[in-house]
Structures are given as structure tokens and as C-alpha cells.
Homo-oligomer: A and B are copies of this chain.
Amino acid sequence: VPAGRPRANLSTDDIVDMALTLIRERGVEGLSMRQLSGHLGASLGATYRHLPNKDALLEQCGRVLFARSWRPLDEGENPLEWLQEQVLSVYRVLALHRGMASYVVHHIQTAAQEIAEPVLGVLLASGFSEEEAVVVGTVLTLFTAGALLTDFERTVAVDTADPQSLVAAGIAFILSRSGKGTVEGRP
């Protein structure tokens, strides 16, 4: 615990920001409530007055990381390109915060509806049946989760291509199957 003078005006945001900084440096595994409080110049009790426990802290960190890396769909934008960009964006943020994947994935699953609607729109418009579209949504979500959770850079097809283009190719493949030719553009 580094030197720290007592400190008032500690906010929950300060705590979460500092936690994310420490996670970037040492991973989630290396984060302790004592060390965190020390870096904030606050006491252990002061930190616990803002958060009921460590798990709640990590949940909030996950939410913040997701919010930072997630851009909502612009009107008129191609939902498939948008989705591809979002997955890679989340992927990059997670690569910098070891151990946070499972906390961020939770928010991705929460955002599943936000994702599903525009994507299903395009799929239906390009020839998928409604039943198929649901399956495609599931495959997309779980593929994304798998890519984010497995640290697959080290384990899947390391020599073939860089991870980003592999993820991009995977998403493109999943979306490329359609009843009437290739999926492109909006409805």
C-alpha cells in the first residue's frame, strides 16, 4: 500500500476508474480492495461505503468498459458492418483488461436485443426465414462470446491470420448465408 493522506470526496466513479487502471496494469487477479484503497488514498472502510463488495465493483467495471467500447447503431448505417466493428472494438478493450471478459460479456448479452433487432431486419430482408434468423442471432452472440472469452489469439489458428481478420471473417461467414444471394446493405 503506497503512502496516502486521508481523503474526502471519494466518489464511486473515482473507485471504478482507479480499479480499471490497476486492472490494466496487473489484471483482475492482481486487484485487491486494500491495494485499491491505498492507491486512492482512502481507507478500506471508505471504499466499502460506496460498494457492497468486490463483485459489485467488478460488475461496474464491466459496465464501464462495455460502455466505453460500444457505439450504438447510427441511423442509415449498415447493421452488419456496425456489428463487426463493435465486436472488434470490445475485443480490443478486453485485450487490455485481463480477466474482465466474463464481466463484460454479461453486458453484451444484455445488449443482445439491441443487436438482434437491426441484424434480424437485414437477414429477413435478404431471404432468411424467421426461424433461421433466431438461430443466426444465437450463433453470432455465442461466437462473439467465445472469441472474447477464450483468449483465442493464442489457441486458434495462430499462424493463419491475425485475430482481427479471423473474427471479421467469422462474422462475415455467419452472415453470408442467405436464401437469395449474399447479405448486403439494409432492407
CA distance A105 to B157 in the complex (A): 16
Which residues of A (133-187) have their CB < 8 Å from a CB of B? Answer: 134-139, 141-147, 149-150, 152, 155-157, 160, 166, 169-170, 173-174, 176-177
Extra 12 A-B pairs, beta carbons < 8 Å, given A106-B155, A135-B166, A142-B156: A105-B149, A109-B155, A112-B156, A134-B157, A138-B157, A139-B139, A139-B143, A143-B143, A145-B150, A146-B147, A146-B149, A173-B177
Query: Across the interface, do B141 and A144 meet the contact criterion of CB distance under 8 Å?
Result: no
CA distance A136 to B156 in the complex (A): 12
Q: What's the least CB distance linking A13 to chain B, in Å? A: 27
Query: Across the interface, do A139 and B170 meet the contact criterion of CB distance under 8 Å?
Result: yes
Main secondary structure of the interface of A (DSSP, over half): helix
Nearest 4 A/B pairs, CB to CB: A146-B146, A142-B146, A145-B146, A109-B155
CA distance A155 to B147 in the complex (A): 17
Partner of A142, one of B102, B109, B147: B147
Q: What's the least CB distance linking A150 to chain B, in Å? A: 5
Query: Across the interface, do B176 and A138 meet the contact criterion of CB distance under 8 Å?
Result: no
